[in-house]
């Protein structure tokens, strides 16, 4: 979804925002990546939502995972956070008021900053038919949910007009599998549609299907959950090599943000996964940003 003629570029930097889907802050720290962290120090921040779709919606209003400061009015925090886009984009005059009335960062970049805007997403809940595809010149759901490397050849940078990219990376999402890895030993857990399908199956199914549902539900004892946590950590170690390829290919004037849309539960307080869960590990996410050269 593009738009007509846009103004001359008002910023000098390209910008890439990368969400490592479901990645807990402490999982990234346990992986000890060497390449990803070339951007700068990893911060523990907090996401505004515990599920992929609302978290990305919030991110595309321009609000990145927050630092949770005390004794600060929310409005003042938002103003300061938006002001930081002046440094990120190498621009001037960006403040919260510039986002009014649309409150949609891609449209702001297109209409007021003269940027090209693009998205590459791994999770189908963010597919191009959803409302999140607004203000993008290109928006692509990748063929595989866990292959960040396949995104790289699709990234193009125009020397005459800076670009914004949002990359939603799926290796760190359940079942925390590397590309071409056989993960069939882990039960298939779908998103919203899968939840409703499971409910329907359970209501209408034969006894055998009900037994299978119960088996899936009871599959994750703590040993399995520990294995899954290790699998998520391993995906970060793998992605470190993919980030090296990304860092090598982007233009020098590219500001990169690496974070997560939400965290994940691996047995804490009896929870697994994310979504309708109120637990700090669903909201703690890694955050780092900078230019690699």
More confident residue, 96 or 139: 139
pLDDT tens across 223-248, in order? Answer: 999 999 999 999 999 999 999 999 99
Q: What is the residue-averaged pLDDT of the chain?
A: 89
Neighbouring-strand partners of residue 66 = 46
Residue 217 has pLDDT above 80, yes or no: no
Q: How big is the chain by its Cα radius of gyration, in Å?
A: 20
Is residue 135 within 8 Å of 88, Cβ to Cβ? no
Sheet architecture: strand order including 138-141:
43-46, 284-290, 254-259, 14-20, 163-169, 116-121, 138-141
- % pLDDT > 70, the chain: 88
Indicate if the pLDDT at residue 202 is higher than 60: no
Inter-residue contact 82 to 36 (CB < 8 Å): no
List beta partners, residue 163.
Answer: 116
Q: How far apart are CA 24 and CA 190, in angstroms?
A: 20
CA 46 from chain center: how many Å? Answer: 13
pLDDT-wise least confident of 37-41, 193-197, 260-264:
193-197
Of the pLDDT bands very low, low, confident and very high (cuts 50, 70, 90), residue 219 is: low
Share of the chain above pLDDT 90, in %: 74
Q: What are the tens digits of pLDDT across the range 60-71?
A: 999 999 999 999
Q: Which domains does the chain have, with CATH numbers?
A: 14-183+233-290 (3.40.720.10)
- pLDDT on residue 98: 84
Biggest alpha carbon–alpha carbon distance for the chain: 65
């Amino acid at each position: 979804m593009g738009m007509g003629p846009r103004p001359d570029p008002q910023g000098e930097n390209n910008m890439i925002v990368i969400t490592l889907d479901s990645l807990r802050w402490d999982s990234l720290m346990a992986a000890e990546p060497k390449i990803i962290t070339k951007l700068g120090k990893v911060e523990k921040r907090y996401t505004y939502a515990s599920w992929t779709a609302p978290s990305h919606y919030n991110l595309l209003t321009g609000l990145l995972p927050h630092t949770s400061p005390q004794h600060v009015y929310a409005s003042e925090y938002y103003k300061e956070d938006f002001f930081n886009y002046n440094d990120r984009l190498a621009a001037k005059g960006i403040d919260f008021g510039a986002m009014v009335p649309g409150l949609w960062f891609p449209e702001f970049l297109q209409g007021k900053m003269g940027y090209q805007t693009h998205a590459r997403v791994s999770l189908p809940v963010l597919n191009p038919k959803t409302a999140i595809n607004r203000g993008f010149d290109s928006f692509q759901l990748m063929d595989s949910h866990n292959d960040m490397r396949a995104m790289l050849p699709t990234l193009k940078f125009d020397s005459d007009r800076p670009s914004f990219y949002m990359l939603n990376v799926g290796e760190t999402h359940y079942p925390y599998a590397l590309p071409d890895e056989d993960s069939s030993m882990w039960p298939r857990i779908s998103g919203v549609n899968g939840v409703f399908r499971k409910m329907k199956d359970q209501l209408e199914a034969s006894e055998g299907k009900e037994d299978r549902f119960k088996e899936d539900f009871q599959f994750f004892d703590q040993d399995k959950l520990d294995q899954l946590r290790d699998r998520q950590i391993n995906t970060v170690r793998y992605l470190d090599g993919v980030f090296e390829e990304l860092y090598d290919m982007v233009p020098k004037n590219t500001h990169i943000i690496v974070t997560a849309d939400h965290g994940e539960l691996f047995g804490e307080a009896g929870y697994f996964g994310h979504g309708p869960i109120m637990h700090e590990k669903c909201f703690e996410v890694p955050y780092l940003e900078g230019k690699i050269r």
